[in-house]
């Protein structure tokens, strides 16, 4: 492992807290050390309080912040003296500990301190770093893990047996560290959990962490357990979109609402899923207790969700009875599915949750395989995993949390999504929590939005093979389809019927009508599996109710799609699919309306550009966002009992009225 510390970069961060920010980000940039909010860091500083007295303050990473992007505001300032007094208590419930941590903040607006704040307070050194280094977890999670830790580090670290994160762990660490540390101690190993380093400067603490993690990597390499065998397996080419959408619907039922389901058929995932012993090595538990909530206790091997739910219920019932507590069972749905044919599937209530589960499990696979090569993978016992999964702090979150609002867990597909109304529809749907797939013939669609809940696909909608491949890719990315926005189309140069070529007529019909028919036909099996019912919005045109001269092909194609939508409403109602149309008129913030064309059309009507843009009953300009917002609302609860509607978005057109 290579140190990323750069003295010139570090010099730009002035002061202890700024140095803490810099080195924390370095740790966060390495996913083999820290993943998605995992790990934490702290620094001890001095502040003058309201009485003019100097106080020692522990600034520890706050809840909700990731080390990779943390700012100074992400550190919670806690009174160090109070934390040390808490560490001396014989017992403290974790709920009471949480109250005490919140109460000892010098800034009540700061985020909730890490549950390991007391542990940070008891360790020496101004700066303390904590990670879940993959290499170390591979070593600790073996039958002879404690012995191997000693072989790696000797007496340079104090080794702590596994205790669930919280007050008990902090107290045990403080006690054992006092007993076993010496001037040469540079770190702390928490079995099955992670690694601590500390130092009087941010650089010393950081580089000690890198050194300790590197020593673990070197140990694995010496024991032929570091380099994993390469795989040449490739993703299956046959279509699986119907079965994936059906499985996602079943999974959504188990999760209590729509779920995102992402398929990972990379070589590593396929190699893991196709191991002869995958049923054994995948069923022992997560790599660290920090991963329990995001990946659940165990992955599902295969797709027998009913059997998994029964096994989970039995697991909960048995261990809940032993705990003697009143517990609410978390949903009995897996977040990771290991499938021999497809690889690894990850689920979440949002695309971000599914993405996080994927990142964690890909690291877990490497850890499991290295531990297996080292002498045998051994995770925490079921009772310890249960204690984390049903931790009273998590129970408190569960009681206070509801289902995410809007379109969370649902998937929308928008055609012609690279610009104009299509791009605005993408934004409106993302804003409401949907995962969105954008299709466009413009390759720029693939880089339209750099976020886990958007996926752009270059697609020629007039080519059936391209369309089928795009749908397959969309379903493998998010799991199914709930909403379809048919926006793509062309408006050809004006031509009278007498002047129009058959070639132009067919081109317009192919893009504006035939492509939409094909997409509707291919999307229907997916839409009928939508957990909350399928929804389709057709972006039509004012030319449907009020055609104009010189636009025969455009007007006829839009009218035909409108009629197609009406028939679909009749045929698809029994499948709980509703389909409605919007008819915009002259939306000027699109690529079609260049300044030159706009000026030309305004002059043709003897109007100024501004008057031309507001040439409607309400004297208002219609924007792409106006159309998109109504399209998104049509997919929502306000239109839950409406199908086959045609709604103008034109500011009022006298010919339509």
Q: Is 308 a catalytic residue?
A: no
Residues 6+ apart with CB under 8 A from 229: 271
Residues 6+ apart with CB under 8 A from 296: 333, 334, 335, 336, 389
As a whole number of angstroms, the distance between CA 569 and CA 571 comes to 6
As a whole number of angstroms, the distance between CA 216 and CA 141 comes to 13
Triad 454, 458, 462: Cα angle to 5°: 125
Residue 600: how many other CB atoms lie within 10 Å: 10
* Per-residue DSSP letter, 114: P
Structural contact between residues 265 and 236, judged by C-beta atoms closer than 8 angstroms:
yes
DSSP per residue over 445-509, as a string?
Answer: GGGS--STTEEEEE--TT-HHHHHHHHHHHHHHHSS-SEEEE-----PPPB-TTT--HHHHHHHH
Burial class, 331, CB count within 10 angstroms (exposed 0-12 / middle 13-18 / buried 19+): middle
Q: Which residues pair with 646 in a beta bridge?
A: 581
Query: What are the tokens at 508?
Result: 């317009």
Active-site residue among 153, 361, 554, 612? 554
Structural contact between residues 265 and 476, judged by C-beta atoms closer than 8 angstroms:
yes
CA quadruple 225, 226, 230, 236: dihedral positive or negative? positive
Is 604 in a helix, a strand, or coil?
A: helix
**Integer CA distances (angstroms), 428 to 75, 251, 349, 536, 633, in order:** 33, 26, 19, 15, 9
Tokens 């998994």, residue located? 308
Q: Terminal CA-to-CA distance of the chain, rounded, Å?
A: 70
Question: Active-site residue numbers?
Answer: 554
């Amino acid at each position: 492992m290579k140190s990323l510390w750069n003295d010139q970069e570090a010099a730009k961060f002035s002061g202890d807290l700024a140095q803490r920010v810099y080195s924390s980000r370095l740790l966060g940039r390495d996913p083999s050390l820290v993943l998605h909010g995992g790990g934490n860091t702290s620094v001890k500083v001095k502040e003058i309080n309201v009485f003019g007295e100097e106080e020692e303050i522990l600034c520890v990473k706050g809840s909700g912040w990731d080390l990779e992007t943390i700012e100074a505001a992400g550190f919670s300032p806690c009174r160090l003296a109070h934390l040390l007094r808490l560490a001396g208590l014989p017992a403290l419930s974790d709920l009471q500990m949480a109250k005490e941590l919140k109460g000892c903040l010098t800034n009540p607006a700061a985020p909730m301190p890490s549950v390991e704040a007391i542990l940070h307070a008891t360790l020496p050194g101004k700066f303390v770093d904590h990670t879940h280094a993959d290499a170390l977890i591979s070593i600790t999670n073996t039958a002879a893990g404690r012995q191997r830790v000693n072989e790696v580090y000797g007496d340079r670290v104090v080794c702590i047996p596994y205790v669930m994160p919280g007050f008990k762990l902090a107290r045990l660490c403080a006690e054992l560290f006092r007993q076993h540390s010496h001037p040469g101690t540079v770190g702390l190993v928490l079995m099955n959990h992670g690694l601590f380093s500390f130092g009087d400067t941010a650089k010393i603490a950081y580089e000690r962490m890198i050194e300790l993690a590197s020593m673990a990597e070197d140990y694995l390499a010496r024991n032929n357990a570091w380099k994993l065998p390469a795989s040449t397996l490739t993703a299956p080419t046959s279509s699986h979109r119907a079965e994936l959408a059906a499985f996602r619907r079943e999974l959504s039922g188990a999760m209590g609402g729509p779920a995102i389901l992402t398929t990972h058929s990379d070589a590593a995932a396929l190699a893991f899923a196709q191991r002869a012993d995958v049923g054994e090595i995948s069923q022992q538990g997560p790599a660290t207790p920090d991963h329990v909530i995001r990946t659940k206790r165990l992955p599902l091997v295969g797709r027998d969700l009913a059997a998994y739910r029964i096994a989970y219920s039995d697991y909960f019932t048995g261990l809940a009875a032993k705990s003697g507590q009143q517990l609410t069972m978390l949903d009995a749905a897996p977040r990771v599915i290991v499938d021999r044919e497809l690889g690894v599937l990850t689920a979440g209530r949002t695309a971000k949750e599914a993405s996080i589960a994927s990142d964690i499990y890909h690291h877990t696979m490497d850890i499991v395989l290295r531990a297996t090569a080292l002498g045998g993978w051994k995770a925490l016992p079921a009772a310890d995993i249960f204690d984390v999964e049903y931790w009273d702090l998590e129970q408190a979150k569960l009681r206070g949390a509801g289902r995410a609002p809007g379109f969370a867990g649902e998937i929308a597909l928008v055609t012609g999504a690279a610009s104009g109304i299509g791009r605005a529809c993408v934004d409106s749907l993302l804003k409401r929590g949907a995962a969105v797939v954008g299709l466009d013939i413009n390759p720029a669609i693939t880089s339209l939005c750099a976020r886990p809940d958007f996926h752009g696909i270059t697609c020629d909608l007039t080519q059936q093979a391209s369309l089928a491949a795009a749908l397959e890719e969309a379903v493998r990315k998010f799991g199914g389809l709930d909403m379809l926005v048919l926006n793509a189309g062309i408006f050809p140069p004006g031509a009278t019927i007498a002047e129009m070529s058959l070639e132009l007529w067919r081109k317009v019909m192919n893009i504006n009508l035939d492509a939409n028919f094909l997409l509707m036909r291919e999307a229907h099996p997916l839409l009928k599996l939508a957990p909350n019912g399928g929804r389709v919005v057709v972006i039509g045109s004012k030319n449907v109710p009020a055609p104009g001269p010189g636009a025969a092909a455009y007007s006829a194609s839009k009218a035909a799609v409108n009629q197609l939508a009406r028939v679909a409403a009749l045929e698809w109602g029994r499948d709980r699919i509703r389909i409605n149309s919007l008819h915009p008129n002259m939306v000027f913030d699109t690529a079609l309306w260049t300044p030159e064309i706009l000026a030309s059309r305004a002059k043709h009507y003897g109007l100024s550009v501004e008057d031309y843009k507001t040439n409607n009953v309400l004297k208002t300009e219609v924007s792409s966002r106006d159309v998109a917002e109504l399209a998104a609302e049509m997919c929502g609860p306000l239109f839950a009992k409406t199908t086959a509607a045609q709604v103008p978005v034109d500011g009022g057109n006298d010919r339509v009225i």
